[in-house]
A and B are shown apart, each in its own frame.
Chain A
Amino acid sequence: VLDAVFQGLMLLLEPETFALMLLGVAIGFVVGVLPGLGGAVTLALMIPFTFSMEPAQVFAFLLGMWVVTSTTGDITSVLFGIPGESTSAAAMLDGYPMTRRGEAGRALGAVLMSSLLGAVFGALVLAASIPVIRPLILALGPPAFFALTLVGLTFIIALSGKNVIRGFLMAGFGFVIGMIGLDSSSGIPRYTFGQLDLWDGIDLVPLVVGLFGGAEVLQLMLSRRSIAQRPDAGDMRVSGVGRGVRDAFTHWWLVIRSSGIGVGLGVIPGMGGSVSQFIAYGHAQATSKNPDTFGKGNIEGVLAAGANNNAKDSGSLIPTIAFGIPGSVGTAVLLGAFLIAGLTPGKEMLTTELPVTMSMVWVMVIANAVAVAVAFVILRPLARLTYIRGTLLVPFLLVLVGIGAYSASNSFLDIFVMLAAAAVGVLAIRFDWPRVPFLLAAILGAIAERYLFLSYSLSGWSWLKDPIVIALFLVCIAAIARPVVSSARARSTARRPGGDMPDEGPAQDATDISAGRR
């Protein structure tokens, strides 16, 4: 195996192959930063250029491009509050508030470093899982996936923060939105109002772009100021990058857990990166010592999102390589390219073609390292953009938001979805209703329902006896019980008047919310 690791590296270090990977990284860098142009579509556009390449060159180029989009998508999320990729939405939840506080450097340092660490972790898991990859995947099935989505849904409690009732109401609203579309089991259209556009449900991309990006742009319009508040007269240097990088290492255990969630959920074809980023984020908040400051610029939220979103790419490559079954849209396109290049995924990739698989692992690591290094170089001028007056920046951001919503599936309806989501987002910010529970419910509700139905139609109720399912149910119960128990304990020890009184954390919050008014 070590031999294969070495051979894989040699394959990649062929000058021409390496140059093609760098070209891919350059393209992926730009695509990632720009909202709208997604990694999967760009991959499809690039495939004709790979016809004349060697197999090793094909994936050095394509894989190098694709993995980098996740990394650089975070930059846009953190700086402008608009997700550069649909998988980068969670990075803005805390990254953007940090930018507004003038801590863009630290947030970017953290998100880039955790991205790199996530990519390395994902690549290691990919490499290490090779002997056990097939039985591992086959041990899981729809029942386990259903239980996993339930675990994800328990994070609604943590994500709701102090306003559990509001969080649950938002989640209920999210479930309704998630219901829209053709029911997968019986084919009955739900809440589609005779619109064919709604058959496949509300697309996640315009929802996320509107709820977060659109809402922030509107806020910016109303405030007529720059995104970041000028710290002192004239001093606009971007500092704290090093601190952000150090944050990634001091919170190493969080980074590893978030990466693990990314790899694990990335493996499952029906879940993918859009889901896992919010689960990783929710998990970070649920396990944090300062859950109240999440959404207001907590570095842990940034780290969890960054690490997760790069590790998930390795995860979705696992079934692609082991079975020829793509775990995401991006890997579906990649698979097509592999077949054209004459690589047949499946058992061979794990035995005779092992060096090729190993060189994919190397591409994930090296491409991300290159992208992060480049990002650090150009990060200062980029971050300075956030000091531009809002009135000048807003037109550009509006265009980005509009294109971002439309180009996900070239549908005009998505523009309206984005605008409606932006309106909801602004109201939620103004009146302090949590947005993430809504989004998590909208995404996970429909998936949970589908896996429940699938489990039942495959094996009646006998899947409830599956040990993996039982273990995951226990995790759910623990997740629900923990906050209840701890809050009951807190109440019994120190009963305070008006349970909603903010303690240290939310003081920051008050200024943030009303920023638009002043």
Chain B
Amino acid sequence: MRCHPLMRNRALPLAAAGLLALSGCGGDDGGQDTAQAPTGGTTAEAASCGSGETSLTGKTVRLVVGTDPGGGYDAYARMVAPHLGEQLGADVVVENEPGAGGLKAVNSLLAGKKDGTHLMIMNAQGNVSSRIAGVQGANFEIAELSYIGRVASEPEIITGASDGPYKSWDDVVAADDNPKIGTTGLGSAAYINGALVNEVFDLGGKLITGYDSASEAELGLVSGDIQLLPGNQSSRLEQIEAGDAIALLVLDAERSEELPDIPTILEQDLSDEDQELVEAHNALGEIGRPLIGPPGLDEEALGDLRQAMQCAFETDELQKEAEESGRPLSYLTGEETQALAEEVASPPKQYEDFLKKAYQGS
């Protein structure tokens, strides 16, 4: 089974949704797929899965998470680590190094070892956009990081309360009510996405920045303090399934498999200028949650890591775990992820200006 490398694999829906269609890349055909690796592999193609002998065999590889335990990045890292370790013949240990929205972990990665024993799972949208906006402390070159592969990429969605003023995105646009949009601070993903829809749809809304955590903002949504809450699909689905929130808009090019009835932002009536803004934004979201190493990572180690990650993502066990834990995978090879990053590194001027504004408030 093959598919276009850039097509996202959203084929692993939440178990609760009851849809267990396993189509798309790296699905149910797992192990037999090793010979026909997805396109784009250069260094990785020669080796085969399960040989167990790599340049990292016997070593301890640190996989750093830029947040506290309990979040999506942490869950993904802990899910992937043992499988990656098995393929590498190494111990892959997950470490939390929270701080500055993940930038702290990126910076220690830049200063760390370049032999493949120091990796991280990056919050690409947050960290890359802070780089584009020129935030103090974001001193890395987007295209020079070593991309090992993309673990997952779910769309950002905009939600409202289930007993709130809106039943659909059309209601939001039609209402002339200056909605309050919850965010977890300037430059947070929620802020950027909230600011985007606020600008593109001219909502006249107010971005609320004082929430310390998504939990607080979620409570604020239920109690009616805020009317809109942007967030990552897999984390927002929890509140949607609990019956307290409804999805209103998907910030992506295609409709989401988990939310087939919710319109996307590109289905809306947008001016050419806004269209360009949204597309630049979507391209950034496309990088999702990649595994990365420092710039100048040892060539052999990078090749081994990319190969090992690819093999790990083809195993049935990892696919099954992802499905059971409601953490959908959407693997992309290192080369493909790198290509996405290079594309994003020089965004349209308009998007750069938008991000700068989103980090400084207005």
Give the B-binding residues of A (Cβ under 8 A): 40-41, 43-44, 47-48, 51, 137-138, 141-142, 182, 184-187, 189, 194, 196-197, 199-200, 269-270, 319, 323-327, 329-330, 332-333, 335-336, 339-340, 342, 344-348, 409-411, 450-451, 453-454, 457-459
Name the residue on A nearest B325 (C-beta).
Answer: A340
> What distance in Å separates the Cβ of B348 from its nearest Cβ neighbour in chain A?
24
Which chain A residues lie closer than 8 Å to B210 at the CB level? 142, 184-185, 450-451, 453-454, 457
Q: Are B70 and A141 in contact (CB under 8 A)?
A: no
CA separation between A142 and B210, bound complex, in Å? Answer: 10
Residues A344 and B71 in contact in the complex (CB < 8 Å), given A137-B219, A339-B325: no
Stretch at the interface among B27-35, B169-177, B237-245: B237-245
Which chain B residues lie closer than 8 Å to A327 at the CB level? 215
Q: Are A199 and B325 in contact (CB under 8 A)?
A: no
Q: Are B98 and A333 in contact (CB under 8 A)?
A: no
Which chain B residues lie closer than 8 Å to A269 at the CB level? 212-213, 215-216, 219
In the complex, B296 has a CB within 8 A of chain A = no
In the complex, B86 has a CB within 8 A of chain A = no
Per-residue A-contact encoding for B281-323, CB less than 8 Å = 1, 0 else:
0000000000000000000000000000000000000000100
Q: Are B324 and A340 in contact (CB under 8 A)?
A: yes
Q: Are A347 and B96 in contact (CB under 8 A)?
A: no
Q: Are A329 and B68 in contact (CB under 8 A)?
A: yes
Q: Are A187 and B69 in contact (CB under 8 A)?
A: no
16 A-B residue pairs with CB within 8 Å? A138-B223, A196-B103, A199-B99, A269-B216, A325-B239, A326-B215, A336-B70, A340-B325, A342-B16, A347-B243, A409-B96, A409-B97, A411-B97, A411-B99, A411-B104, A450-B212
Q: Are B223 and A141 in contact (CB under 8 A)?
A: yes
Per-residue A-contact encoding for B185-201, CB less than 8 Å = 1, 0 else:
11100000000000000
Q: Are A270 and B212 in contact (CB under 8 A)?
A: yes
Residues A187 and B213 in contact in the complex (CB < 8 Å), given A43-B69, A324-B239: no
Which chain B residues lie closer than 8 Å to A458 at the CB level? 180, 208, 220, 225-226
> What distance in Å separates the Cβ of A450 from its nearest Cβ neighbour in chain B?
5
> What distance in Å separates the Cβ of A286 from its nearest Cβ neighbour in chain B?
27
Q: Are B100 and A51 in contact (CB under 8 A)?
A: no
Which chain B residues lie closer than 8 Å to A41 at the CB level? 69, 96
Residues A347 and B242 in contact in the complex (CB < 8 Å), given A41-B69, A51-B321, A137-B219: yes
Stretch at the interface among B74-82, B116-124, B151-159: B74-82
Which chain B residues lie closer than 8 Å to A340 at the CB level? 324-326
Q: Are A48 and B212 in contact (CB under 8 A)?
A: no
Q: Are B100 and A200 in contact (CB under 8 A)?
A: yes
Name the residue on A nearest B218 (C-beta).
Answer: A325
CA separation between A409 and B99, bound complex, in Å? Answer: 9
> What distance in Å separates the Cβ of A334 from its nearest Cβ neighbour in chain B?
8
Which chain A residues lie closer than 8 Å to B213 at the CB level? 269-270
Interface residues on B, range: 35 or more
Q: Are A333 and B225 in contact (CB under 8 A)?
A: no
CA separation between A329 and B181, bound complex, in Å? Answer: 24
Name the residue on B nearest A349 (C-beta).
Answer: B242
In the complex, B339 has a CB within 8 A of chain A = no
Q: Are B326 and A410 in contact (CB under 8 A)?
A: no
Per-residue A-contact encoding for B1-22, CB less than 8 Å = 1, 0 else:
0000000000000011000000
Question: Which residue of the partner chain, among A48, A323, A336, A457, contacts B242 with CB atoms under 8 Å?
Answer: A323
In the complex, B361 has a CB within 8 A of chain A = yes
In the complex, B354 has a CB within 8 A of chain A = no
Name the residue on B nearest A189 (C-beta).
Answer: B136
Which chain A residues lie closer than 8 Å to B326 at the CB level? 339-340
| Apart from the given pairs A269-B215, A325-B219, 8 other A-B contacts in the complex at a CB distance below 8 Å | A44-B78, A51-B325, A137-B219, A138-B223, A185-B210, A189-B136, A325-B215, A326-B215
- Give chain B interface residues in 17-72, CB to chain A under 8 Å: 68-71
CA separation between A145 and B149, bound complex, in Å? Answer: 43
Residues A332 and B99 in contact in the complex (CB < 8 Å), given A325-B215, A454-B210: no
Q: What are the 8 closest A-B residue pairs judged by CB atoms, nearest first?
A: A346-B242, A332-B70, A454-B210, A187-B186, A44-B69, A269-B215, A199-B100, A340-B325
Q: Are A409 and B78 in contact (CB under 8 A)?
A: no
> What distance in Å separates the Cβ of B234 from its nearest Cβ neighbour in chain A?
10
Q: Are B361 and A187 in contact (CB under 8 A)?
A: yes
In the complex, B204 has a CB within 8 A of chain A = no
In the complex, B140 has a CB within 8 A of chain A = no
Which chain A residues lie closer than 8 Å to B100 at the CB level? 182, 196, 199-200
CA separation between A203 and B265, bound complex, in Å? Answer: 40
Which chain B residues lie closer than 8 Å to A335 at the CB level? 70, 238
CA separation between A373 and B137, bound complex, in Å? Answer: 51
Which chain B residues lie closer than 8 Å to A184 at the CB level? 185, 209-210, 212
Q: Are B69 and A142 in contact (CB under 8 A)?
A: no
CA separation between A327 and B218, bound complex, in Å? Answer: 11
Per-residue A-contact encoding for B202-233, CB less than 8 Å = 1, 0 else:
00001011111101101110110110000000
> What distance in Å separates the Cβ of B317 from its nearest Cβ neighbour in chain A?
10
Q: Are A457 and B212 in contact (CB under 8 A)?
A: no
In the complex, B350 has a CB within 8 A of chain A = no
CA separation between A185 and B360, bound complex, in Å? Answer: 11
Name the residue on A nearest B188 (C-beta).
Answer: A187
Which chain B residues lie closer than 8 Å to A138 at the CB level? 219, 222-223
Which chain A residues lie closer than 8 Å to B325 at the CB level? 51, 336, 339-340
Q: Are A187 and B359 in contact (CB under 8 A)?
A: yes
Question: Which residue of the partner chain, among B78, B107, B186, B225, contacts A186 with CB atoms under 8 Å?
Answer: B186
> What distance in Å separates the Cβ of A174 from its nearest Cβ neighbour in chain B?
19
> What distance in Å separates the Cβ of A135 from its nearest Cβ neighbour in chain B?
10
CA separation between A138 and B74, bound complex, in Å? Answer: 29
Question: Which residue of the partner chain, among B15, B94, B98, contacts A342 with CB atoms under 8 Å?
Answer: B15
> What distance in Å separates the Cβ of A341 from its nearest Cβ neighbour in chain B?
9
In the complex, B258 has a CB within 8 A of chain A = no
Q: Are B215 and A454 in contact (CB under 8 A)?
A: no
CA separation between A42 and B273, bound complex, in Å? Answer: 49
Q: Are A270 and B97 in contact (CB under 8 A)?
A: no
Which chain A residues lie closer than 8 Å to B69 at the CB level? 40-41, 43-44, 329, 332-333
Q: Are B187 and A454 in contact (CB under 8 A)?
A: no
